[in-house]
Structure 1
Amino acid sequence: MTRLRSPMPIVFVAAWAVYLVAGLYLSVHQQFFVGDSLSRVAAAQSVLFSRDPHAAAIGFVFTPLTALIQLPLTALTPYWPAVTADAVSAAVMSSAFMAGSVVQLAGVARDRRVWGWLAAVVTVLYAVDPMILFYGANGMSEAPFLFFLTWAVRRLIRWVDTDDVHDLVCAAVALGLAYLTRYDSVAAIAAAALLVGSVTWWRGPHTRRLARALLDVTLTASPGTVAFVVWAVTSWLITGDAFAQFTSEYGNAAIISQSGGSGSSTPGVALGFSVVEMLLLAPLLPVLMATIVAQRWRRGRVIPVLPPLAVCGAVLAFQVLSYARGSTFGFLRFYIVVIPLTAVIAMLAVPGHGHLPARRIGRLGAQPRPMRAPRRHHQVATAVLSVVVLAAAIPVTVWGMRSPKYAPQEFALAAVLRPEPSSTDPQHLDELRVDRSFSTERRLAEYLDGLDLSDGTVLTDTVFGFAVVARSTRPRQFVLPSDRDFTEVLNDPVRFGVRYLLTVPPTGRGASDAINLRYPTMYATGAELAVRVLDVPNVGADLPNWRVYRMR
C-alpha cells in the first residue's frame, strides 16, 4: 500500500512523457541529431542486422551500456524502421534514464522528509532545466550517466546517516553501471570509496577501525573495479586495445589530434573556460554551497553534504583536468553534472523531518542524532535561496546554450526552435549548418537503398559512415569495420563482390578512414580501381564531402 501511495511512478511517467515527446520532435519531426547518439544507434543496429551480426559489433570506443539498452527496441526495426532510421531507440533510452534521474532527485527529498513545496519546486526546476530537457531528449549518454550518479548520491546520503549496508551496496552498483556508461565515472568511484573509508574511520570505534574502513571501501569500489577490468580485458581480447577510447584511431585522443586539438591553449585559459562553463549551468551554486555548508558546520551535520560534493565534484574535477591537458573538447555537456549537484544541495538546504528509511541500521548509524535546528525563519530563508539559485540558472543556461564558443553542440537548437529562413546573420547560418548535420549522409543512405543492392556490396568506414548506416533500411548491404572479414574485403574488394565505395577526403578525421589508409589516392582518383559516379557536397557542419566510387 505504501508503494501504491508513492508519487514516484507519477513523477517518472510525467518526466518521461515530456522528454520522449521532445526527443521524438527533434529526431522524427526536425531530423536533428547529435553524432554520438547516431553512432550508438548504428552500433546497436550492427549487432542485430549487419551482414555479420555479433555482439562485438557494438564496438569498444564507447562503454557499452547505452547501446546495449537500445537492443530490445532495435530488434523491432524490421517492423518499425524509424527505430533506427530516425534514432527513436536513442530518444526512448535517454528520456527514460533522465526521468529516472528526476525520480532519484525527488527521492532525496522523500527520504529526508523535507517540506513538500521545496521538494516539488526543486524537482520541477531540475526537470525543466534546458540542458536536462535537451539531453533527456537527444539520445546521448548524459541521461544514463546522470541517473546512475544521482542514484549513487541518494544512497550515499542515506548511508552516512544509517550505516545500512543495503544503501552502500546500491550506491556501489550504481557507480559500477555508471562506468559502463561513461569513462569519467572512474573519478566518481574513487571519490566515493575515499569518502566511505574516511567516514567509517572517523565515526567507528578504535577497535577494528581499519578493518571496517577497508571492508566498506571494498564494497564501494568492487562493482566499478570489476566493470573496469572486465571491459578492458574484453576489449583487449577482441580488438587488441584495452582502452580503445584512448588508443584506437576511432578514440577520443585520435579525434582531438585529427581535429586540430581540443581548443585549450594553456592550463590557465582552460581552467578559466571550465569555470565559465560551470557558471553557465549553475551561476549561484557557490553562494548556495557556502551558505549550507556553513549552516551545517555550526550544527555539526556537514557529513550528509559530502556525498554529492565528493561524487559530482570528482567528475567535474576530472573534466577540468582533462580539458586542461588537452585530452577532451570544451563541450558544455561535459559539465552537466553541476546541475544535479545544485539540485541535491538544494534538497539538503533545510533539516529533514523524521528518520531516513533503512532496512537495517548499522552499528555506526547516526540516526536519530540530536542536532541544533536553525530557527524556522532561517530555514525558510535558506529554502527560498535554494529555489532562487535553481530558478536563476535557467535563463543563464538558455543564454549560454546560444553561444557557439561555450556550447558548440547546443547553440544550433535556436535554428530548430526559432527558425529564420531569410536571416543572413553569420551565427544563424552557423546554426543552420549544425542543424543540418547528417542530413547529407541520410540522403546518401536513401540513394543507396534505392539501388536495391545485394548484401556486402558497399564498402565504407564508420569514421563518418555511421550516419549513413543508421539511416539505411538495408544495413546488410554495407561492409563495415566491425565485420570480422573487413580487412580481407578491403584488401580485395573485387573478389568479395564489392560494387561501391563511400569515400571521404583524406584530411582531418578522414585521414584515419580505413579506405584512405589502404588506398591513399582513392578519394582523388579512384586508385585505378574504381570510377567516380557521384559527388555529394555536405551541407552539415564539420562533415566531409562524399564521393561514391563504383568498382571497375
Structure 2
Amino acid sequence: MTLVDTPVKTRKINVVVLVTGILYLGIAIWFWRYHLMPGDSSSRLANAYYTIFSRDPHLAAIGFVWNPLPSLLLIPFLPLTLVFPALTQESLLAVLASAALMTATVGLFHSVIQKIVANRALQIALTAAFALHPMTLLYAGNGMSEACFLFTLMLAVRSLHLWLVEKRVEQLVPLGLALALSYGARYEALAPLAAVTALVAAITWWRSGRNGALARTDAVIVGLPGLLAVALWALASKIIVGQWFATFSSQYGNSAQVSTSAADIGSVTGDDLAGRLSYWGHQMTGLAPFAAILLIAALAFAWHRRDLAILAPITVLGSVLAFDAMAFLSGTSFGWLRFHIAVVPLAVLLAAHLIADARQRFVTAASLVLVLAAFPTMFSILSDSNLSREEAQWVTESGRFNTSDLHRINTQVASDLDAMNLPDGAVLTDVAYAFGVVLASDNPDQFVITPDRDFAAAVADPTAHHIQYLLLSADGSADAVRLARYGPTPVPLDNATPYRDAQGGVEWFLVKTPF
C-alpha cells in the first residue's frame, strides 16, 4: 500500500470535504439561526473584534488569558462585518469558522485513514464514524475552540504517522509546526508537545543504533517550534499584562474560575477522587465506550506486526486525554465533556489500525461495531445534563431557551445604549462578561473595555474619564468595574436599571454616573 496521495485518493478526500462541509455549514446556521452560540465562542470572536473595532484598537487587545489562534484566524474576516453585521453582532463568523475548521479536520482524518486501511468502503465508514459522531457535529457548528484544536492535532497525527512509516526526517518539520500551532489553540497542547518530542527522540535513538546526538537533533526539530511558541507567548504576556501565564494567574483565568466554582463543580462531579473518577469514567464511556478494548487489541496486533504507526494517534491524542484527565481528577478543571473530545478520533484510528494489522473479517466487523457503539451511548450521555453540562444548553429545550434568552438580553442592552447616541468612551464595562453586549452594539466606540490601555484608570476614577454609565454583570465574580464600585455587596437598585431574563433573574445592571 503506497503512502503517496494519488489523484484517486485526492478526489475522494475532496468529496469527503465537500459533503461534511455542507453538513457542518447547516449545523452552524442552525446554531446561529436560533441564537445558541455558547459564550466561549462569542468571547473568542470578541477578542478578535477588539483588535479592530474598539475605541482603542491594538493587537494586544486579543488578550492573554486564552490561547490566541482561534481569535487570530478570525481577524482577516472582520472587515466583512461592515457589509454583513450579523457576522459579529450575532457571532455568525465564529460558527462559520468552526464549521470550516472541522471540515478540514475531517479531510485530514480521512487522509490518515487512507494511509492505514486499503479498502475504500472501510475508509468511508471509519471517516463517517468520526465525522458523524454527535460530539463532532456539535463542535463543528458551535464556534468553540474544539474544531481548531482538533485540526492542529490531526496535522500532528498525520505528520507523525508519515515519519514513523517513511522514516523521512523532513516530516519532523511539519510535525513540529503542527505542535506549535496546537499550543496556539489550547494549553493542553503542552502534553503532546512533550510526549511527541520524547517519542521521536526515543525512536530515532533506537533506529540509529543508539546514536544520542542524532536523537537529540530530531527532538530539537520537533520540539523547538512548540517551545518557542510557549516562550514567546509567555514573554509577550509578561511584557504587556505583567503575567507569564495569565490563564493560571489572572482573575479571569481558568484557575480562578475553577476555584470560584469549586463548590458547584463538586456538587455535580463529586468533591473527592473517587467521585471524580466515577464521573470521568461515565463521560468517557459515553464518548467512546470501547476505547480501552480497542487500545489493548490494536497495540497487541501492532506489536505482533511491528507497526510503529499506531503510536502516532496514541501519543498525540492520548497525551491530550491524559492531561485533561489528570487536571480534572486533581480538581483543577471544570470537567466539561468537550475536554475529552480527542477520544473520538483516537478510538476510530485505533479501530483502523486494528483492522489493518489483524486482516481478519471478524476483527474488522467487531472493530466497526465497537466504534459505532459510541452513537447510542453518546445520545444517552447527551440526555443527562449532569454529564453534558455545556451540551445541555443546545440539546435540551430548556437549555436552548435559556441560551437564546441571554442573546435577547444582550441585544436589548446594546440597543438601549445605541439609542442614547452616547459619545466615545461613555460606558465602562468589563468585557470578560459584557462581550456579547459589545458585539451586539452598532457603536463599539462608546465602551471603555478591559483591553483598553486606559481601562484601569477609568475604573479607578470614572468621573475624571467622562464615564456616563457603568454596565455591570449581576453575578460576575471577577467583574472589575462592579468590584471597584460596590465590592462584594449587591448592586443597589436605587440608581441602577436591571435587565432581567425570562425567569426574572437579573443579568445586567446599568448604573448612571455620577453616583
Under a length normalisation based on structure 1, what TM-score does the superposition of the two structures give?
Answer: 0.87
Matching residue of 1:135: 139
Matching residue of 1:385: 366
Query: Structure 2: any 5+ residue segments left out of the alignment?
Result: none
> 2: CA distance between counterparts of 1:471 and 1:111?
46
Equivalent residue letter for 2:20? A
Matching residue of 1:319: 324
Q: CA deviation at 1:213?
A: 1.1
1:348–1:3 Cα change, 3 Å = same
> 2: CA distance between counterparts of 1:235 and 1:540?
40
Matching residue of 1:31: 35
Q: Please state whether the residue corresponding to 1:139 is helix, strand or coil.
A: coil
Tell whether the 8 Å contact from 1:70 to 1:93 is kept in structure 2 after alignment.
Answer: yes
> 1: CA distance between counterparts of 2:418 and 2:379?
40
Matching residue of 1:490: 459
Matching residue of 2:479: 513
Q: CA deviation at 1:433?
A: 2.9
| C-alpha distance after superposition, 1:333-382 (max 9, x if no partner) | 0000000101211221233xxxxxxxxxxxxxxxxxxxxx75x5x2x222
Decide which of 36, 41, 45 is 1:41's aligned counterpart: 45
> 1: CA distance between counterparts of 2:174 and 2:418?
47
Tell whether the 8 Å contact from 1:195 to 1:307 is kept in structure 2 after alignment.
Answer: no
Matching residue of 1:186: 190
Q: How does 1:326-345 map to 2 (within 5 A)?
A: 326-345=331-350
Moved over 6 A (4+): none
> 2: CA distance between counterparts of 1:539 and 1:339?
37
Tell whether the 8 Å contact from 1:50 to 1:475 is kept in structure 2 after alignment.
Answer: yes
Matching residue of 1:404: 385
Under a length normalisation based on structure 2, what TM-score does the superposition of the two structures give?
Answer: 0.93
Decide which of 495, 509, 513 is 1:547's aligned counterpart: 509
> 1: CA distance between counterparts of 2:158 and 2:312?
8
Matched, 1:287 2:293: yes
> 1: CA distance between counterparts of 2:399 and 2:165?
51
Q: CA deviation at 1:202?
A: 1.9
Q: CA deviation at 1:240?
A: 0.2
Matching residue of 1:254: 256
Matching residue of 1:11: 16
1:385–1:473 Cα change, 3 Å = farther
Decide which of 150, 155, 166 is 2:170's aligned counterpart: 166
> 2: CA distance between counterparts of 1:413 and 1:433?
9
Q: Please state whether the residue corresponding to 1:536 is helix, strand or coil.
A: strand
Q: How does 1:61-460 map to 2 (within 5 A)?
A: 61-112=65-116, 114-206=118-210, 209-261=211-263, 262-263=265-266, 264-301=270-307, 303-351=308-356, 378=360, 380-415=361-396, 419=397, 429=398, 432-434=401-403, 436-460=405-429
1:520–1:20 Cα change, 3 Å = same
Tell whether the 8 Å contact from 1:97 to 1:143 is kept in structure 2 after alignment.
Answer: yes
| C-alpha distance after superposition, 1:141-189 (max 9, x if no partner) | 1001111111111221121121112222111111110000000000011
> 1: CA distance between counterparts of 2:348 and 2:117?
16
| C-alpha distance after superposition, 1:48-69 (max 9, x if no partner) | 1101000000011111000010
1:101–1:164 Cα change, 3 Å = same
Equivalent residue letter for 2:286? L
Tell whether the 8 Å contact from 1:73 to 1:83 is kept in structure 2 after alignment.
Answer: no
| C-alpha distance after superposition, 1:188-210 (max 9, x if no partner) | 1111111111111222224xx11
Matched, 1:538 2:504: no
- Aligned sequence identity (%): 33
Equivalent residue letter for 2:301? Q
Greater mean alpha carbon deviation, residues 167-176 or residues 491-500: 491-500
1:533–1:544 Cα change, 3 Å = closer
Tell whether the 8 Å contact from 1:131 to 1:336 is kept in structure 2 after alignment.
Answer: yes
| C-alpha distance after superposition, 1:233-287 (max 9, x if no partner) | 0000000011000100110111122224442411232222222211110001222
Tell whether the 8 Å contact from 1:12 to 1:103 is kept in structure 2 after alignment.
Answer: yes
Tell whether the 8 Å contact from 1:282 to 1:393 is kept in structure 2 after alignment.
Answer: yes
Q: CA RMSD in A?
A: 2.1
> 2: CA distance between counterparts of 1:383 and 1:247?
49
Tell whether the 8 Å contact from 1:245 to 1:251 is kept in structure 2 after alignment.
Answer: yes
| C-alpha distance after superposition, 1:434-479 (max 9, x if no partner) | 4534432232122222222221111111231111112222111111
1:97–1:409 Cα change, 3 Å = same
| C-alpha distance after superposition, 1:279-315 (max 9, x if no partner) | 11000122222222222222333x2211211221111
1:347–1:540 Cα change, 3 Å = farther
Q: CA deviation at 1:138?
A: 0.6
| C-alpha distance after superposition, 1:9-67 (max 9, x if no partner) | 2322322221122112111x101121111111111111111010000000111110000
Tell whether the 8 Å contact from 2:31 to 2:95 is kept in structure 1 after alignment.
Answer: no
Matched, 1:524 2:486: no
1:349–1:437 Cα change, 3 Å = farther
Tell whether the 8 Å contact from 1:283 to 1:396 is kept in structure 2 after alignment.
Answer: yes
Tell whether the 8 Å contact from 1:461 to 1:514 is kept in structure 2 after alignment.
Answer: yes
Q: Please state whether the residue corresponding to 1:16 is helix, strand or coil.
A: helix
